[in-house]
Amino acid sequence: MNLIELIKSRRSIRQFQPKVLDHQILLDCIDAARVAPSAANRQPLHYILVTEREQVDMIFPLLRWAGYIQPHGDPQPGQRPTAYLIVLIDEEIGEKWKYHDVGAAVENFILAAWSYGIGSCWLASVNRSALRSFYQIPAKYTIDTVVALGYPAEEPLLEKSDETVRYWKDADGQLHVPKRTIDAIVHLNGFNRKE
Ligand SMILES: Cc1cc2nc3c(=O)[nH]c(=O)nc-3n(C[C@H](O)[C@H](O)[C@H](O)COP(=O)(O)O)c2cc1C
C-alpha cells in the first residue's frame, strides 16, 4: 500500500480484537509523532502510553464514543481498545500554534499505527480530571486528547456526501462515514471557481 492509499484507507476504529500490541511497534509510532512539524520547533508534546491491563480497564469508562449514534458506536464487550495514548501539552513550552502541533503529531502517530495494521480512534470526549488525578499529571501539562488503540474488528465504509456529516450504522451494524466531495471543497484559481 502506498502512502496515499494508507491515508485514504484509515478510518476511526471503535471495535477491536483482544490481541496484545507490541511495545516496540507502539514506540515506533510515537517516534513518528515525535518528528512531526512543530511551530517554532517548540515540541511541547508529551505522551503517556498505557498498555497495562488494569490501567486500560480504568480508562475505558472515561471516554465517550461516536456521539452521533450513541450507544451503538461504543466498543462492545470483548472488543474494547487494548492500549491508549494520552496526549499532553507542556503549557510552559507550547505557544499559540500548539494545537496545530497536536494535529500533525497525532495524525503521524495514527497513520504510523495504521501502517502496522493497528486501528485507532482519536478522542476529545475524555474525563480529564479523572485522568489527571490517576496519573498525578502536573498542572503545567494540559491533557489534550486520547488515542484508543487495537487491531480492528470492524471495517467502516467511506461514503461521499455533501448532505450530511453524521456517520451512521446500517441494519447489519456496518459503520458508514460520509466525507464531503472534492468538488464541494476545492476552489480553482479563485473562490467558487471550478475551472
Ligand atoms: C480532534 C478529534 C476528536 C475526536 N473525538 C472523538 C470522540 O471523543 N469520540 C469518538 O468516538 N470519536 C472521536 N473522533 C473521531 C471522529 O468522530 C472521526 O474522525 C470522524 O467521525 C470521521 O471518521 P474517520 O476518522 O473514520 O474518517 C474525534 C476526531 C478528532 C479529529
Mind listing the pLDDT tens digit for each residue in 59-81? 999 999 999 999 999 999 999 99
Q: What is the model's pLDDT at position 55?
A: 98
What is the 52 CA–ligand 1 centroid distance (Å)?
24
Q: Contact 57/17 with Cβ under 8 angstroms?
A: no
Closest to 38 in 3D by CA, of 90, 81, 94: 94
Q: CA-CA distance, 62 to 48, in Å (whole number)?
A: 15
Task: Among 72, 122, 125, name the best residue to mutate to test ligand 1's pocket (greatest count of ligand atoms within 8 A of Cβ).
Answer: 122
Domains of the chain plus CATH, in order, are: 3-154 (3.40.109.10), 156-195 (2.20.180.10)
Atom 18 (ligand 1): residue with closest C-alpha?
12
Cα→Cα distances 108→6, 12, 37, 113, Å:
12, 14, 10, 9
Q: Contact 36/112 with Cβ under 8 angstroms?
A: no
For ligand 1, whether the C-beta of 156 sits within 6 Å is yes
- What pTM was computed for the model? 0.97
Letter string b/e over residues 85-108, b meaning 16 or more CB atoms within 10 A of that residue's CB:
bbbbbbeeebeeebeebbebbbbb
Q: What is the model's pLDDT at position 1?
A: 86
The helix (H) or strand (E) run that includes residue 96 is: none
For ligand 1, whether the C-beta of 123 sits within 6 Å is yes
Q: Contact 120/114 with Cβ under 8 angstroms?
A: yes
Q: CA-CA distance, 150 to 76, in Å (whole number)?
A: 13
For ligand 1, whether the C-beta of 157 sits within 6 Å is no
Q: What percent of the chain has pLDDT over 90?
A: 97
For ligand 1, whether the C-beta of 72 sits within 6 Å is no
Q: What is the model's pLDDT at position 160?
A: 96
Cα→Cα distances 71→22, 25, 75, 76, Å:
30, 31, 9, 10
For ligand 1, whether the C-beta of 36 sits within 6 Å is no
Residue 1 corresponds to which cell in the numbers above? 500500500
Q: What is the mean pLDDT of residues 26-30?
A: 98
What is the 83 CA–ligand 1 centroid distance (Å)?
17
Q: What is the mean pLDDT of residues 131-156?
A: 98
For ligand 1, whether the C-beta of 109 sits within 6 Å is no
Q: Contact 48/86 with Cβ under 8 angstroms?
A: yes
* Cis before 71? omega within 30: yes
DSSP letter, residue 20: P
For ligand 1, whether the C-beta of 66 sits within 6 Å is yes
Confidence grade of residue 174 (pLDDT, cut at 50, 70, 90): very high
Closest to 161 in 3D by CA, of 176, 139, 147, 148: 176
Atom 15 (ligand 1): residue with closest C-alpha?
122
Atom 29 (ligand 1): residue with closest C-alpha?
122
